[in-house]
Amino acid sequence: MRMECTTKKFFTRSRFSRREILSIGTAGMLAAGFAPKVARAADVQTKKRSPSAGTLAQDIETALAALDKDKLVKLAMDLVNIPSPLGREEETARFLHGLFQEVGLYSSLQPFAPGRCNVLGVHEGSGGGRRLMLNGHLETGGSEQDGAFPPCRIIDNEWISGRGIWNMKGTIAAYVAAIMAVQKSGIPLAGDVLIAGGAGAWDESPVATRLKGEPYQGYGVGIKHMLAHGGVADLAVVGEPTSFKLVRQHFGITLVRIDISSELSEPRIIDDLTGDLTRFMRKPSDASAFRYDVIGYAAEIVQALNAWIPDYIRRNIVEGVPPLVSVSAIEGGQPWRPGSSDRCSIFISVGTPPQALPTAVLDEMRQVLAKVRGTYPRLSAHAELYAVNPGPFVPEGSPIVASLRAAHSDIFGRDPDEVVVQWYSDASPLVRYGIPSLNYGPSGKASAEGESVRVSDLMNCARVYIDLIVRVCGEPA
């Protein structure tokens, strides 16, 4: 009786790891008298797969055995040695374009601005299966100049060190190594596998009059172009460095600009040597005798924002994780011309819960300004959104969640931890296009000295992607 209860509990689960499938075997599962639904699924699988294809677990084992460590490491180092700061990703895209063609993928380049390209490589399945996208951004963080950073290197035969290896060229190398292993194993796939290299996922945004152009065009500008021009899939994984944790949702980022003008604002002066501030509720008869102190008004607004931020954070915590909110910059005045400050701008970065509307942030900014106007009725200040990036959310029941959990469990022997993160990723536009997209990538580290990833972590990451490819794309959907 105890054995029967254990068996029933085991086989009512919705998925099985590779180890569990291998330990029992399809014939044993059917002989044990499983639920009819499971038996029918196994029967369909047998009919649709060719006799030489083997079971899912065997296919995964075969593909894992074909993973080439040396090629993975070399590819990761080659990618790192190509400088690709935000706005100059084309060389990396063209390198991958040639590599994709060399390994037998259908490859296309998507130029969308001077010096900027996406690249899309496709391993075409036989048909009827799910289309899986493995997504990664091509640019690296920080300001790079040609020759201004050290070449990629191996440290203690254990770590790969170099700009972008952690975030996220190592992941892109793992994608390529994974699909090469599947190809080498000869395992047929029903669904397509896409490797999507998008330019411009970094959290940068054009703003003001002088911060324009491609070096400031981030927040998924490349993947948004790719999605609008045919680079779509049924499911996706974005390989940001999550330390092998699964991310179903993360915060969005909404950027707000508050402009303060002297056109209508009332004048403010210091009325005596003690420094007491006199607030004029009406203009004096000789208005020309006074300057409009927009910098002073900016200080009042920042003080009101600092009072608003803690309350906003408390109201928008997601599974114990608070949003990041800050007054990120203030710009105003003409220091070379004293007394000429007639305009000032405040810039605020607001983390938003995955399913929140960015317009709600604008409403709250206007409420903050309304409170300040309670003291300064003629204050001229205007709030506007200059970057809107909603957070993604993938429900628990999505097939990509179960598939990635099973793939991780196969390699590590346990389910992955699940976390909510505060940063932005290309999962945001992907989910907005109706593509369930998770973040999952290797561990590593970044410091003032640079970025580094363990070779063993890159190998394990590639192994999880191999398992996922076979699991998702191996059968007709």
- CATH number, position 317: 3.30.70.360
Q: Are residues 296 and 351 in the same domain?
A: yes
Q: Are residues 288 and 374 in the same domain?
A: yes
Residue 21 has what pLDDT? 38
Query: Is residue 454 domain-resident?
Result: yes
Distance between CA atoms of 241 and 441, rounded to whole angstroms?
5
Cα 239–241–246 angle (5° rounding)?
70
* Coil, strand or helix at 319: coil
| Strand 445-447 to 277-279 pairing | unpaired
Distance between CA atoms of 453 and 442, rounded to whole angstroms?
8
**Domain coverage including residue 297:** 253-389
Distance between CA atoms of 345 and 5, rounded to whole angstroms?
67
Residues 6+ away with beta carbon under 8 Å from 247 = 240, 418, 419, 420, 421, 425, 427, 438, 439, 440
Matching residue, tokens 């020759």 = 147
Q: Are residues 119 and 229 in the same domain?
A: yes
Residues 6+ away with beta carbon under 8 Å from 98 = none
Query: Is residue 49 domain-resident?
Result: no
Sheet strand arrangement including 132-137: 106-113, 116-123, 193-198, 132-137, 235-238, 437-439
Q: Are residues 352 and 448 in the same domain?
A: no
Boundary (domain end) residue, out of 370, 389, 408? 389
Tokens encoding 258: 């508050």
Query: Is residue 53 domain-resident?
Result: no
Query: Is residue 44 domain-resident?
Result: no
Q: Are residues 241 and 258 in the same domain?
A: no
| Strand 132-137 to 193-198 pairing | parallel
- Give whole-number Cα distances, 273 to 266, 270, 354, 433, in Å: 21, 8, 52, 61
Residue 219 has what pLDDT? 79
Kindly provide the residue ranges of all beta strands, DSSP E only, lying in 366-419, ordered along the sequence.
380-389
**Cβ count near 352 (within 10 Å):** 23
Question: Which H helix or E strand runs over 371?
Answer: helix 358-373
Q: Are residues 84 and 223 in the same domain?
A: yes
Question: What is the sign of the dihedral through the CA atoms of 401, 394, 474 and 459?
Answer: negative
Boundary (domain end) residue, out of 337, 358, 389? 389
Q: Are residues 274 and 349 in the same domain?
A: yes
pLDDT in tens, 47-69: 333 333 459 999 999 999 999 99
Question: Which H helix or E strand runs over 153?
Answer: strand 153-155
Query: Is residue 54 domain-resident?
Result: no
> Is residue 168 reached through a cis peptide bond, with omega within 30 degrees of 0 on the bond before it?
yes
Residue 218 has what pLDDT? 74
Q: Are residues 164 and 242 in the same domain?
A: yes
Sheet strand arrangement including 252-261: 325-332, 343-352, 252-261, 380-389
Cα 72–73–76 angle (5° rounding)?
85
* CATH code: domain of residue 180: 3.40.630.10
Query: Is residue 12 domain-resident?
Result: no
The residue ranges of the chain whose pLDDT is under 50 are: 1-53, 143-147, 264-265, 267-292
Boundary (domain end) residue, out of 355, 389, 423? 389
Distance between CA atoms of 219 and 424, rounded to whole angstroms?
8
Residues 6+ away with beta carbon under 8 Å from 4 = none
Residue 439 has what pLDDT? 98
Q: Are residues 130 and 183 in the same domain?
A: yes
Residue 142 has what pLDDT? 53
Distance between CA atoms of 335 and 341, rounded to whole angstroms?
8
Query: Which residue in 195, 194, 174 sits closest to 69, CA to CA?
Result: 174
Provide the 8-state DSSP code for 129: B
Residues 6+ away with beta carbon under 8 Å from 408 = 244, 246, 415, 416, 440, 464
Distance between CA atoms of 45 and 476, rounded to whole angstroms?
9
Q: Are residues 461 and 356 in the same domain?
A: no
Query: Is residue 359 domain-resident?
Result: yes
Q: Are residues 162 and 119 in the same domain?
A: yes
Distance of CA 57 to the CA centre of its chain: 30
**What global pTM score does this model have?**
0.80
Sheet strand arrangement including 450-454: 153-155, 159-161, 450-454, 445-447
Q: Are residues 80 and 188 in the same domain?
A: yes
Query: Is residue 370 domain-resident?
Result: yes
Residue 210 has what pLDDT? 66
Specify the number of domains making up the chain: 2
| Strand 325-332 to 277-279 pairing | unpaired
Tokens encoding 119: 């690249």
Question: Which H helix or E strand runs over 177?
Answer: helix 170-185
Please name the amino acid found at residue 146. D
Query: Which residue in 276, 189, 214, 204 sits closest to 89, CA to CA?
Result: 214
Please name every residue paired with 346 in a beta bridge, in sequence order, or none if there are none. Answer: 258, 330
